[in-house]
Amino acid sequence: MSLLGKNPPAGVLNDKKLYVFDMDGTIYLGKIVFGFAIRFIDHLRASGRRVLFFTNNASHSTEFYVDKLTRLGFGPTPEEIMTSGDVTVAFLKSRYPGKKVYLVGTEQLCEHFRGAGINLINGHEDEYDTVDLVVSSFDTELTYHKLDAACRLIRNGAVYLCTHPDFNCPTETGFIPDSGAIAAFITASTGVTPRYLGKPYAEVVDMIEEVTGVGRDEICVFGDRLYTDIALGSKNGVTSVLVLTGETHEEDIPLAPADQQPAMVYDSLEVVDRAMFGTQSERPR
């Protein structure tokens, strides 16, 4: 039996104050922007509601996402952008202040960590005895040297963290290996499973509440992935809305565990827009 059309009344969504959007697969797919997502978000802002874009993809900086979403038509402010990289930085500064970190990540992520005051090292062999933590992420600049250094450091006793657990990143041409796949390589070599941050873990909701001042009962999250976006909501007291424009297909939902079940399921944000605002009108002026 189809789960579409079985949603609670849209009033559940109308009562929220903060609307958190996953990016890839939810408001765009690779280079393909969803015009209906722009319209829906414009309607939310015009009605006085707040918006936050949260992505587990930590390979890029806040500035990158502001520029990208602006070019795509979403018009974000820097305060409306948050990534699993931000959550990881906050976690490191809170739990491991001043500790030496080896990061398997893109140069943009490395710059973000350095700019936030994280004590990054380069991974040279003469530094191995001084490293406290290894952090791995979605690294599109990955090299064998980085993997080897991370594994050696973890075997040498470094604590292992990972920015987010996503195995694949959706693109307009199919999936590409993501942070979880890189972490699986490191785990296979070392036998050590990292502590994951990012969606679906509680640190994300804690940080959203702290930064925005909005309580979790007044937040809803939209996403296309059951084990990150939807689990973030179901595990942490946030209303979760699944859209079928990215990774998840409708037939996947009954197979997912209870803590990955969405509160609502829609084909796309276009249908959510219609349910909340009753129109497919042009963008508010």
The model's pLDDT over 131-144, given as tens digits with 9 standing for 90+, comes to 999 999 999 999 99
List, for residues 50-98, the tens digit of each pLDDT value.
999 999 999 999 999 999 999 999 999 999 999 999 999 999 999 999 9
Phi, psi of 39 (to 5 degrees): -60, -45
**pLDDT for residue 2:** 52
Residue 251 to residue 249: CA distance in whole angstroms: 5
Task: Please report, in angstroms and rounded to a whole number, the separation of the first and last CA atoms in the chain.
Answer: 40
Query: Among the listed ranges 23-37, 86-100, 112-126, which one has the minimum average pLDDT value?
Result: 112-126
Give how far the C-alpha of residue 230 lies from the chain's centroid of Cα atoms, to the nearest Å. 11
pLDDT band at 111 (very low <50, low <70, confident <90, very high): very high
Q: Taking the model in full, what pTM does it have?
A: 0.89
Arithmetic mean of pLDDT, 165-182: 89
Angle between helices 84-95 and 107-115 (to 10 degrees): 40
- Residue 284: its pLDDT value, please? 42
Average pLDDT over residues 96-109: 97
The residue among 110, 15, 99 whose CA lies nearest residue 61 is 110
pLDDT given for residue 280 in this prediction: 56
Query: No. of H helices and E strands in the chain?
Result: 10, 15
Instruction: Tell me the torsion sign for CA atoms 128, 130, 135, 140.
Output: negative
